[in-house]
Chains A and B, each alone.
Chain A
Amino acid sequence: GQQLNQSPQSMFIQEGEDVSMNCTSSSIFNTWLWYKQDPGEGPVLLIALYKAGELTSNGRLTAQFGITRKDSFLNISASIPSDVGIYFCAGQLKGSSNTGKLIFGQGTTLQVKP
């Protein structure tokens, strides 16, 4: 099936450092979403992107919808211990046959050292 390639797979950083992760695909998406998941819980939506080139911020988080519509990145600035968790990108393909269906990346596990 469709795949999103998310990298890096894991990151171990020092508190205060900036973090960057990205997702790429060979397919064109009309929506990109970034989620954070804590152990035993469902993913929580961080940022939603709907237009190519769109750059959106949510506090210390910034995400962009790639111009080619095949990629997206998420940046976290000045990381803090509570940023620990698994971050997922998710995309929705064009077309009515893809309504309600998200394709997820494999996730980036972030660990922050105080």
Chain B
Amino acid sequence: KAGVTQTPRYLIKTRGQQVTLSCSPISGHRSVSWYQQTPGQGLQFLFEYFSETQRNKGNFPGRFSGRQFSNSRSEMNVSTLELGDSALYLCASSLGTGGGGYTFGSGTRLTVV
């Protein structure tokens, strides 16, 4: 059974640019959550999508957005990048119906210069 796939693994962007990250969940999982991991703030919840709808949202500015497609794949977008957006971005998939653990991908390492 394939795990959670995140692409790309590494990304370098310039301040002011925008970026799109992709996450393919485990087959049959309908929920995808996104997290930002930094040394200073740890793992912080960004948002969660279930059946193409954003079901929950963390405390991040509107520059951070996401979407989910009918095949449950999800993308997150960050516009007008800032240096502080440099982080490991992780997505986690789950059944989304309660219970069960959350399986994480390997993440996308974003560096903003």
**Which A residues form the contact surface with B (CB < 8 A)?**
1, 31, 33, 35, 40-45, 48, 50, 88, 90, 97-107
Shortest C-beta distance, B34 to chain A (Å), equals 10
User: A101's contact among B4, B33, B104, by CB below 8 Å, is which?
Assistant: B33
Shortest C-beta distance, B47 to chain A (Å), equals 8
Interface string of B77-113 (1 = CB under 8 A from A): 0000000000000101010101111111111010000
Asked if residues B42 and A98 are in contact (CB atoms below 8 Å), the reply is no
Please provide the 9 A-B residue pairs with the shortest distance between their CB atoms, ordered closest to farther. A100-B48, A42-B104, A104-B43, A48-B101, A45-B101, A100-B33, A42-B106, A43-B104, A101-B45
Q: Which B residues touch A50, using CB under 8 A?
A: 99
**Chain B contact patch, size range:** 20 to 34
Asked whether any CB of chain A lies closer than 8 Å to the CB of B70, the reply is no
Q: Which A residues touch B6, using CB under 8 A?
A: 42
Asked if residues B101 and A100 are in contact (CB atoms below 8 Å), the reply is no
Report the number of A-B residue pairs with Cβ-Cβ less than 8 Å: 68
Shortest C-beta distance, B10 to chain A (Å), equals 10
Q: Which B residues touch A33, using CB under 8 A?
A: 101-102
Of listed B42, B55, B96, B106, residue having the most chain A CB within 10 A: B42
Asked if residues B101 and A106 are in contact (CB atoms below 8 Å), the reply is no
- Chain B contact residues: helix, strand, loop or mixed: strand
CB closest chain-A residue, reference B48: A100
Asked if residues B107 and A101 are in contact (CB atoms below 8 Å), the reply is no
CB closest chain-A residue, reference B45: A101
Q: Which B residues touch A41, using CB under 8 A?
A: 106-107
Asked if residues B56 and A45 are in contact (CB atoms below 8 Å), the reply is no
Asked if residues B96 and A100 are in contact (CB atoms below 8 Å), the reply is yes
CB closest chain-B residue, reference A2: B45
Interface contacts beyond A41-B106, A99-B56, A100-B31: sample of 9 additional A-B pairs, CB < 8 Å, sorted by A: A33-B102, A40-B106, A42-B106, A43-B104, A45-B102, A88-B43, A99-B50, A100-B48, A105-B42
